[in-house]
Structures are given as structure tokens and as C-alpha cells.
Homo-oligomer: A and B are copies of this chain.
Amino acid sequence: MSAPLASWIDGLRTDVMPADDRALHYGDGLFETIVLRSGCARFLEAHLARLALGCARLGIRFTDMPRLRAEVAEAISLAPRHAILKIIVSRGSTVRRGYAPRGTETARRMLWLWPAAEPVPPLAAGVTLELATTRLGENPLIAGIKHLSRIENVLAAARAAEAGAFEALMLDTSERVISGAMSNVFAVRDGRVITPRVDRCGVAGVMRGIVLRECSALGLQAAEASISVEDLLNADEVFLTNVRIGVVPVGRVGEHACRMNTCSQRLTAHIENLDA
């Protein structure tokens, strides 16, 4: 997984990009990470819908969705059985120096095709979460969307990796649990599946949306709720979600051993069989 199999900028195969792009200069754009499996882009419509929402929120006029779809199809045609497709849509090249866009920028599409390991069944013991010292800044305008200004996630993920943990547990500045650095977090209590709201910070993960939607098919009640670290430690089960890792049970939060249960396994089996 050390290099992409292919990359495209505005439809052309290349591994360089214009150095005046606002994604580089200001984190001014959005991204999606999509799982390709057996020639199919899993949950593509949910990814593209979030991308479109992000463009609307940032005021990026992205009118090339049909071209992006064609490029996704081209990438799929080149992909091995298990692959990852990353998409960035940036506001485009700088029209004038400075933060404020002029409004006449042309959005830029960038795609990378990566090989992916075969999916590994989650360890029965669950993964370890390390409490991040970095807090997520709260900002409703950019909450939920997958924008490119991700230095907070980078720092939290770096610390978790140093600590040997699978993922960082990120809180907001009010000490509420929000998410992992690269995943959403769920807690199960008395058969009820809850996950933090992401309307002030965090990302509305595609797999988070799938889990919220599919719980009822398993007879589980699912809801957004405020969650403290203590709630997490006292939960009947804690699990993480993203499209790449799926639904992964948490075995430890720092030194604390979490209770394990069966919701994450049942969700994994159910979601595995969903159509893309």
C-alpha cells in the first residue's frame, strides 16, 4: 500500500497537480474514500451525496458530477478485486492570492486508485481506542462534511499510532465524545445503539449512516445522542465504523476493558450482504 495504482487530475492520468490549487494552500476542498469490491463502488451514491453537500456548504460550484462518475467508472475498470478509490474535489486554482475565493475558480477533480488488503474479520478481542489530547474545534458550518482541513485528525491519529492504539477517541472542547480520528463511534446500552451528533464537529461517515439506517432491520433501536467518556466505559458494547474497516468492536478504551457484545458482529454480517 505504498503507492497508488493510478491517479487522475481532471480526467487525465498524472501524478502531479498544479501547485496553485487551493486544496494545497488552504485545505479548501472535500474528499471521499470509497471501497471498491469486485468491480463495484460500495455505497457510491451516499459518498457522492456527501460530496455534493460539502461543495454546497463550502460554496464550491461543482457542476462536473457526470464527469466524476465517468472517472470513477474508469478507475473501477482498472481496479483489482479489493481496492480503495480516493476522490478530492478542490475549489481549484488560486485566482488571486489570499483566503477569500474570487468565486470564478473552476473546481478540480482528483482521483487515486489504491490497492487494498483483503478485508480482515474483526478480532474477537476488539481494537484499542486511545483518548486524544487534541480536541475537535466546534464549527457547525463545516461539521459533518469531509473537508480537507484535517490537521486535528492527523495529530490525533499520530498520537494514537505512537501509543500502539488502533484509533484515537476524539472529544469536542466540551469534553463530549464525537468520533475516532478516521471513524465514527457507537455505544450500545440496553439494546439501544447510539452515536454522537456531528452537527458541531466530526464527520457524518457513510458507514455511520448505513448503521443508523440498518439497525431496525436487526430489531435494534438507533439514535443520535450526547455521549460522555463515562457513558462509553459503561456501555454494553462500543464499536467503530467507517467504510474501509466496516463495523469494528472496541476491546479497550485506554486502560479500561470494554464489555463486548454481539451488535457489531450482527451489523457486520448484515451490512456485508447489502447491495452497494
**Which of A's residues lie within 8 Å of B, judged by CB?**
1-4, 7, 9, 14-28, 31, 58-59, 84, 86, 88, 95-101, 110, 112, 114, 133-139, 141-142, 147-158, 160-161, 173, 181-182, 201
What B residues does A148 contact at CB under 8 A? Answer: 24-27, 149, 151
Contact A27:B151 (CB < 8 A) given known A19-B15, A59-B158: yes
Q: Is B15 a contact partner of A18 (Cβ separation < 8 A)?
A: yes
Q: Is A28 a contact partner of B151 (Cβ separation < 8 A)?
A: yes
Q: Name the one of B97, B149, B156 contacting A84, with C-beta atoms under 8 angstroms.
A: B97
How close is A94's CB to chain B, nearest CB, in angstroms? Answer: 9
Q: Is A157 a contact partner of B58 (Cβ separation < 8 A)?
A: no
What B residues does A21 contact at CB under 8 A? Answer: 24
What B residues does A142 contact at CB under 8 A? Answer: 134, 151-152, 155
How close is A140's CB to chain B, nearest CB, in angstroms? Answer: 8
A158 to B58, CA, bound (A): 10
Q: Besides the contacts A99-B150, A100-B158, what 19 more A-B pairs have beta carbons closer than 8 Å? A: A7-B20, A15-B18, A17-B18, A19-B110, A24-B88, A26-B27, A26-B148, A26-B151, A26-B153, A27-B27, A59-B155, A99-B153, A101-B154, A101-B158, A135-B139, A137-B139, A142-B151, A148-B149, A149-B150
How close is A60's CB to chain B, nearest CB, in angstroms? Answer: 10
Which partner residue on chain B sits nearest A22 by CB separation? B154
Which partner residue on chain B sits nearest A14 by CB separation? B19
Q: Name the one of B18, B23, B26, B157 contacting A98, with C-beta atoms under 8 angstroms.
A: B157
Identify the 4 closest CB pairs spanning chains A and B, nearest first: A137-B137, A27-B27, A149-B149, A100-B157
What B residues does A114 contact at CB under 8 A? Answer: 97
What B residues does A17 contact at CB under 8 A? Answer: 16-19, 24
What B residues does A147 contact at CB under 8 A? Answer: 151
Contact A157:B99 (CB < 8 A) given known A137-B137, A173-B173: yes
A118 to B154, CA, bound (A): 39
Q: Is A141 a contact partner of B154 (Cβ separation < 8 A)?
A: no
How close is A193's CB to chain B, nearest CB, in angstroms? Answer: 26
What B residues does A27 contact at CB under 8 A? Answer: 26-27, 148-151, 154
Q: Is A100 a contact partner of B25 (Cβ separation < 8 A)?
A: no
What B residues does A152 contact at CB under 8 A? Answer: 137, 139, 142, 149
Q: Is A100 a contact partner of B19 (Cβ separation < 8 A)?
A: no
A140 to B9, CA, bound (A): 36
Which partner residue on chain B sits nearest A143 by CB separation? B137
Which partner residue on chain B sits nearest A200 by CB separation? B173
A99 to B183, CA, bound (A): 11
Q: Name the one of B9, B28, B138 contacting A150, with C-beta atoms under 8 angstroms.
A: B28
